[in-house]
Amino acid sequence: MKQISLLQTLTVKLLCAVFSFGLLGMARGLDEGLISTTVAQPSFIHEFHLEDTDLSAVEKANRLSNITAMVHIGSIPGALLAFIMCEHVGMLWTMRQLCIMWMAGVVIVITAAGSIGQVYAGRFIMGLGIGQAGVVVPIYLSEVAVPSLRGLLVCTFATSEYMGIMIGYFASWGTTMHISNNSSKQWIIPQSIQIIVAGILLLSSFSCEESPRHLCKAGRFADGTRALSRLWNVPIHDPRIQNEFQCILNQLDDAPAGTSVQRLGRSLKLLITDKSNRSKLAFLGITQLLSQWSGPTSITTYAPKLFSLLGETGQSQKLLRTAILGAVKFIASLVCTVFLIDYTGRKRPLIAGIIIQFIAMLYIAIYLTVSLPSTDPVQSNALHDAAIFAIVCLYLTGVGWALGWNSIQYLINAEVLPLSVRTVGSSILMCFHFANRYGLTKAVPSMLLDSGLRPEGTFWLFTAVTLLGLLWVWMRLPETARRNLEEANLLVS
């Protein structure tokens, strides 16, 4: 009942914000879901020579990782670009231009016609747009939300990422089933879905309000108050509006003034020289490092390959298993967003999710270490059952990630950093986030080789990092639920 009463506080303007900004998580989700399955489709493999016999195993792994990781390379400067754009044109127009950049990159990719260089270029441009979304959306949603709904609103970004992954997986599975392996339409049609989604979100943004905090930072205090009033659907003189507005003004006293370039320099100086801000940045950086290297993002990117390691050999079977993984992660994330993140707090579902992820990773690591082919019927049946449970555990890693790290990694950035350094700090953290994702995406194909860590060694690494993350969260993560942003900022110092 408490969840229902919370949801009843959603206003039309907040619903517009959830739709236009919250669903931008689909940008990253669609890319991850589509590229992980696209590189496994015969038409794409043939067109871009991913399995040519004159390539060594290492060269094949490098070509695969270059394609999948290029979006993350583009996302690093994209995260920095987000700060500049937000300061110059505000969050609404930043969101609109990133949608256009995302669409432009997709168009370049689907018109590549066998040119792998054009695929790299298109995916880099896609990354410039997608990288901005990781900065703009959590900040915007945290700044427009009422405190009781902040977790739900910000976590719609993570949930919509899984919606995108699920749609991407099923779209590729569908075209593999119904379109010839010799036709480039097999991979172009699913990729084109991104253009439709970006266009819809771009148009819907014209129904949204600008962030009240951004308007106040720009000196437009009356506009900021009116925007907050419309977002929360209460009169300007309501005590809730006045209290929130006063909190904004209190933090603005510490915010850098001047032009956008001057504010950037002063914000960076304040972020680096202030001991409390340095502590927050280090805390959030370690959180990003532990979450990314715990492994589930690489499972999302290379799911078809990992399913083949666990015994799935048929192309359509691998893609169907992958599509089901996307659905499982989406449902788990939706449950966390709607029923847990604001009702039970941030820390409980995160710890539960990491524990589930740890147990699943540990089993897969043990299975890959001890499983050997056997001609004994009894042992063969036991190995078959063990392989089935390993596949189940692959799904459980997605459940744990959706309940845990993925629901927190964007929210905690927006909640912990103060207004004076929030945008620049989030930009730096998302650069670090994408650098880690690039490193992991680039490394995993080589890690799985016999000359690398091998599959079992890779999962032992993920298991160890997941355990470290559990200890870190248990000892260090504060509970920020039901506090306004300014109160939440004080919990990490």
Tokens of 355: 């524990």
- Higher pLDDT, residue 165 or 380: 165
- Higher pLDDT, residue 329 or 232: 232
Percentage of the residues of the chain whose pLDDT score is greater than 70: 91
Average the pLDDT over 293-316 and give the result: 81
| Residue extents of the structural domains in the chain | 9-208+255-489
Question: How wide is the angle at C-alpha 121 spanned by C-alphas 319 and 34, nearest 5°?
Answer: 15
pLDDT in tens, 179-188: 999 999 999 9
pLDDT for the residue numbered 179: 92
pLDDT at 4 over 70: no
pLDDT for the residue numbered 53: 84
Provide the pLDDT confidence category of residue 375 given band limits of 50, 70 and 90: very low
Task: Report which of 295, 35, 308 is spatially closest to residue 165, judged by C-alpha positions.
Answer: 35
Three-state secondary-structure class, residue 274: coil
Average the pLDDT over 417-430 and give the result: 85
Rg for the chain, CA atoms, rounded: 23
CA distance 66 to 55: 15
Q: What homologous superfamily does CATH list for 9-208+255-489?
A: MFS general substrate transporter like domains (1.20.1250.20)
Provide the pLDDT confidence category of residue 310 given band limits of 50, 70 and 90: confident
pLDDT for the residue numbered 16: 93
CA distance 376 to 21: 56
Q: Out of 3-12, 37-46, 175-184, 355-364, give the one with best mean pLDDT.
A: 355-364
pTM, rounded to two decimals: 0.81
CB burial class (10 A; 0-12, 13-18, 19+) of residue 457? Answer: middle
Provide the pLDDT confidence category of residue 76 given band limits of 50, 70 and 90: very high
User: What is the DSSP-derived secondary structure letter of residue 479?
Assistant: P
- Higher pLDDT, residue 183 or 379: 183
Other beta carbons within 10 Å of 93: 14
Provide the pLDDT confidence category of residue 240 given band limits of 50, 70 and 90: confident
pLDDT in tens, 177-231: 889 999 999 999 999 999 999 999 999 999 999 999 889 888 888 999 999 999 9
Other beta carbons within 10 Å of 462: 26
CB burial class (10 A; 0-12, 13-18, 19+) of residue 247? Answer: middle
Three-state secondary-structure class, residue 452: coil
pLDDT for the residue numbered 360: 95
pLDDT at 424 over 60: yes
Task: Report which of 147, 416, 432 is spatially closest to residue 293, judged by C-alpha positions.
Answer: 432
Provide the pLDDT confidence category of residue 358 given band limits of 50, 70 and 90: very high
b/e map of 346-372 (b: 16 or more CB within 10 Å)? bbebbbbbbbbbbbbbbbbbbbbeebe
Q: Are 193 and 30 in contact (CB under 8 A)?
A: yes
Tell me the CA distances in angstroms from 352 to 34, 138, 172, one per residue in order: 29, 23, 32
49-63, 89-103, 305-319, 345-359: the lowest-pLDDT one: 305-319
CA distance 286 to 154: 21
Provide the pLDDT confidence category of residue 118 given band limits of 50, 70 and 90: very high
pLDDT for the residue numbered 296: 87
Tokens of 199: 């266009």
Task: Report which of 108, 102, 119, 77 is spatially closest to residue 24, judged by C-alpha positions.
Answer: 102
pLDDT for the residue numbered 238: 87
Q: Are 282 and 272 in contact (CB under 8 A)?
A: no
pLDDT at 3 over 50: no
pLDDT at 72 over 50: yes
